[in-house]
Amino acid sequence: MSVHNRPSPRSPAASRPSPAKGRGYSVKECFLTLQGEGVQAGSRAVFLRFAGCNLWSGREEDRATAQCRFCDTDFVGTDGEGGGKFASAPELASHVERLWGDGAERRLVVITGGEPMLQLDSALVDALHESGFRIAVETNGTLPAAEGLDWICVSPKAGTEVVQRSGDELKLVWPQDGIDPVELEQWDFDHLLVQPMDCDDLSKSIEAAIALAMERPRWRLSLQAHKVVGLA
């Protein structure tokens, strides 16, 4: 198993909130699907979405003043498919394993949010690895990534301080005022992806994303295939 060993720019112990002992994990939803976007698009995966985010409350009345205003995800509460409260890392890892079903090859769990680094800790990383899973995360990068992850995807948001500037995949939702793609090219990522913002004028977002990929060949166009084919 290949484990991501790039150091975070800040010490996780000093910079990333640790779940309080005995607090457990709050999961919005958890289900088996195909990864819909990014380099690993099309891969069978258990999708684990943590509740909560540090850039937006998730309430529509707060969107206009949030640091991230274009989120298209419901991450509030624990009432989604396969969601709930989990008291321990082994309990949550067992839940993920049951959803995967039979077969031990190429097990993949994609952990997202909200912001997964508010809850993801070494205990859960270890428990998922012990269950044979490769662990991919999708994060806004404002908190250092947990140690031992197999795949780190960072999606930066304009106006925020991104501290996780290394990983496997940098996914830029485009267009965003206040982000310079040229600057992002200096960060330490293996893959640079530009993804059209899912907004009222999607056609213009697609045009802008295509234009960026054409102008700067390090960037590759990424589409949300799960929305095209009707997967969750």
- As annotated, the active-site residues are 47, 53, 68, 71-73, 138, 226
Cα 114 from chain centre? 8
- Nearest one of 159, 109, 169 to 139, comparing CA atoms: 169
Kindly compute the dihedral angle of the four CA atoms of residues 105, 110, 116, 117, in this order, to the nearest 10 degrees.
Answer: 50
87 burial (CB, 10 Å; 0-12 / 13-18 / 19+) is exposed
Cα 201 from chain centre? 24
CA angle 209, 169, 118 (to 5 degrees): 110
C-beta neighbour count of 69 within 10 angstroms: 15
